[in-house]
Structure 1
Amino acid sequence: MKKLLKGTRQVITEDNHYLNLEYYLVETNYVEQGTSNTAYGIEIMKEFNGEVETDIVQKITSHKDEAMQIMDKLIANTVTPMSMVIAIDELCSLKI
């Protein structure tokens, strides 16, 4: 598995604390029925008040450009690890 940082967001909360988000493209190589394949997923890491929360969805698609389109939507909407799975599910259902 390989992770590439593709975007960051910094949000100021109502009580003037900083919430930092990092968005990673996750590349996974695997073998299925004797054939080598590559799948792309997304990981989001949130750092707030010294605590780190992370979530990852692997193997969303075998197309890097499709994974990047999903990632761009997540970054634009400041999606956090807690809501990532639901957001990805909705985006995949809508075919972006």
Structure 2
Amino acid sequence: MTGKTLSPRDIIWDLREVVLAEGPEIRRTHADPSKSELIKPVIGSAIAEEDLWSCTTCMACVEQCPVMIDHLDKIVNMRRSLVLNEGKAPKETIE
């Protein structure tokens, strides 16, 4: 609809893949996820920053999702992490 690269479904699937790949090792070693070197950054590798900033927060994905997944909370939380933890934001929001 907006002509942007965002696919909420793909974001959820990518998050799922990261959890399935890294979750067992974190549980096995009881590593603190915030300090673990086992965890690869999700944003920038599995999920593109551009995709997160493409979201218009219109909630169409939430309304249309047949399994009632709240994509918006996950997207907004990842954007919040980029801004607060890494100081990253798109040029449009800084100007």
TM-score category, normalised to shorter length: under 0.3
TM-score under structure 1 length normalisation: 0.27
More helix by share: 2
More strand by share: 1
Higher relative contact order, structure no. (Cα contacts within 8 Å, ≥ 6 residues apart): 2
